[in-house]
Amino acid sequence: MIIPDDIAPESHDDPDISVEAWRRLNAPPKARNWLRDRMRTFRFLRSPARETLLPGGGRAFSDAVIASVAFNRPDMIEWQIHLIRRHLAEKDGYVVFDNSSRDEARVAIRDLCRRLQVPYVGLPRNRMLVSASHGLALNWIARNFVVVFRPSLFGFLDHDIFPTGPFSVRERMQGKLLYGRKRTDTPTPGGWFLWPGFSFFDGSVSPRRLDFSPSYRFHMDSGGGNWPRLYRACDPDKVRFADKRWLRFGDGRDEFRDYFLSVDGWLHAGNASHWKAPQVDRREQFIALLRQAGGPDQPDVRFEPL
């Protein structure tokens, strides 16, 4: 049984985390690899997309760009496409950006998007890992795609977060520059950042100004690079943070074993990319929640372990 729970998982968004504890969870890159990583970043951001499919030529993107970063899970993307089309007001601005590390996953996601007539961009081969890979993918999207269309609003989604009811980003952002899920798990005093898996920006924010890389100086995960560039000086009245609601199905307090997360009504699985080795298989519980939101035309998808 899945029930709402006001008790957060252990260590989630812990604002009292120490520098030492943060570094244990987020090991900074080795100094000897600094130049190598800088060169990889430089080349990646200047590389063209491996493949681009834009049905209709992208005419809707001047209104909104909603960028989903795919990673090795066509099953997640198929369900996300279905629920975005069913529930999201800005569905015409939805684009799948493929950061997959496995060629067979890229082929499956590309073919899925082609069959369903969903805009698809295959990102360059990304040689960074985990948070650094995700942050670099987001920076490519901001600097090589969003700047081209200059939408009135833009935002970013993880591949494992799904709207479960009617939703408009524009309505949530009325009068705001920023909207999304706030993270506070940093030892930087007063520090916070938007989790890039659910983060949205008014079109007046320059995409070139943004940096979604992890910040090892300020001890923040991917998205934390925006703290010194944008978030720190942003007027609090121009920011709207999403509400979080925990959905418990396990007996413990582990974030990726016992819970799912609802973010302003969007269902987030967490760890779909298996950056952390799964301890249990959560497919059955998660599929049950998706089916409640999927309607009569929901897809019949064979899920990989979750």
* pLDDT at residue 29, as a whole number: 73
Query: Residue with structure tokens 């005093």?
Result: 189
Positions of E strands within 133-279: 153-158, 161-163, 178-183, 193-202, 239-241, 244-248, 259-263, 266-268
Residue 263 pLDDT > 90: yes
Q: For residue 219, give the nearest of 208, 228, 210, 206 by alpha carbon.
A: 228
Answer yes or no: is pLDDT of 69 > 70: yes
Tell me the per-residue pLDDT of 129-176, one tens digit each, with 9 for 90 and over: 888 999 999 999 999 999 999 999 999 999 999 999 999 999 999 999
- Tens of pLDDT, residues 90-130: 999 999 999 999 999 999 999 999 999 999 999 999 988 88
Tell me whether strands 239-241 and 178-183 are parallel, antiparallel or unpaired.
parallel
* Half-sphere CA count of 292, side-chain side, radius 13 A: 13
CA-CA distance, 302 to 60, in Å (whole number)?
31
Q: Each residue of 56-67: pLDDT tens digit?
A: 888 889 999 999
Question: Does residue 228 sit in helix, strand or coil?
Answer: helix
Closest CA to 173 of 55, 66, 19, 290: 66
Average pLDDT over every residue of 251-275: 85
275: amino acid identity, one letter:
W
Burial of 150-182, coded b for 16+ CB within 10 Å and e otherwise, reads ebebbbbbbbbbbbbeebebeeebeebbbbbbb
Q: What percent of the chain has pLDDT over 70?
A: 92
Q: 178 pLDDT band (50/70/90 cuts)?
A: very high
At 13, the pLDDT band (50, 70, 90 cuts) reads low
pLDDT at position 210 over 70: yes
Any idea of the CA torsion for 121, 122, 123, 128, to the nearest 10 degrees? 140
* SS3 call for 113: helix
